[in-house]
Amino acid sequence: MIEVEGPGKIAAIMVEPITASNCRIVPPDGYLQRLRKICDEYGVLLIFDEVMTGFGRTGEWFACNHWNVVPDIMTVAKGINSGYVPMGATIATRKIAEHFEDNIFYDGLTNFGHPLACAAAIAAIHVYREEKLVENSKAMGEVLMQELERIKEEHPCVGDVRGKGLFAAIELVKDKETRERLVPWSVEYYEQKHAAMGELLVKLKEDGVHTYNRWNVLMIAPPLCINEEELMEGMEKIDKALTIIDKYISTT
């Protein structure tokens, strides 16, 4: 696209290092590094959206750290103060920031620089450090992925499991060999839940497991403070609930 449009017409490329609500796609090693190289080659800014992946969610402070790639600009929110007070922020490299010292960008929002939200962010970051929540996310993430791989082997309906840290997903299929999705990726099933997925979510909620789905993908994002006993309890309930989908695909 840069070559087609011309680098002078492309201001930036913006991506999530790991896609969030869009089904938790983890890029292969080398992808983000190559993206960084392309942007540098053509003078295009690289922007990472770390709204959902930032602040320890993937077992690193930011998901891009898994690949040692530094963006020019990073957008963050949610985990910046654990969601206690609405807040978003933009982080830029020194080179980008210095540009605006002499080229003022006049802009403002009603809650711009809100002291309560900023105080909550500072407090949350202290807790992340003091309670080693990022390290816990990494350690529990390894346990989580081991359990997900076990579940994948045991359930005919599980076509793929993926994620990093406490940021994972289970992809449900009709057939493991063909990887045919349980639910088509269509507008219809985005706006309303497929019957089998709805039944699965109801069962999980009854058992005390709160999660959500996109089409045929079940999202998993437990709190960063979770311990192994709690994590295993949740995974056991997910394991049992997936029999609903196993039965569904065996009869359709």
CA angle 193/247/199 to nearest 5° reads 30
Phi then psi dihedrals of residue 12, to 5 deg = -165, 160
Please check the confidence at residue 25 and state whether its pLDDT lies above 80: yes
Residues 54-90: tens digit of each pLDDT:
999 999 999 999 999 999 999 999 999 998 889 999 9
- What's the confidence (pLDDT) of residue 116? 93
Give the pLDDT confidence score for residue 171 in this predicted structure: 96
Q: What is the C-alpha separation between 151 and 62, in angstroms, rounded?
A: 27
- Strand pairing report for 88-92 and 158-164: unpaired
According to the model, what pLDDT value does residue 120 have? 95
Between CA 136 and CA 107 the distance in angstroms is: 38
Ramachandran category for residue 221: left, alpha or beta (phi over 0 → left; psi -120 to 50 → alpha): beta
Measured CA to CA, the distance from residue 76 to residue 124 in angstroms comes to 14
Res. 133: pLDDT tops 90: yes
Give the C-alpha separation, 183 to 74, whole Å.
33
CATH topology of domain 2-130: Aspartate Aminotransferase; domain 2 (3.40.640)
What pairs with residue 14 in β-bridges?
47
Cα separation, 87 vs 196, whole angstroms: 36
Residue 137 in this model has a pLDDT that exceeds 80: yes
Cα gap 122→110, rounded to integer Å: 21
Domain residue limits, the chain: 2-130, 133-250
pLDDT for res 193: 80
pTM score: 0.90
CATH-assigned architecture of domain 133-250 = Alpha-Beta Complex (3.90)
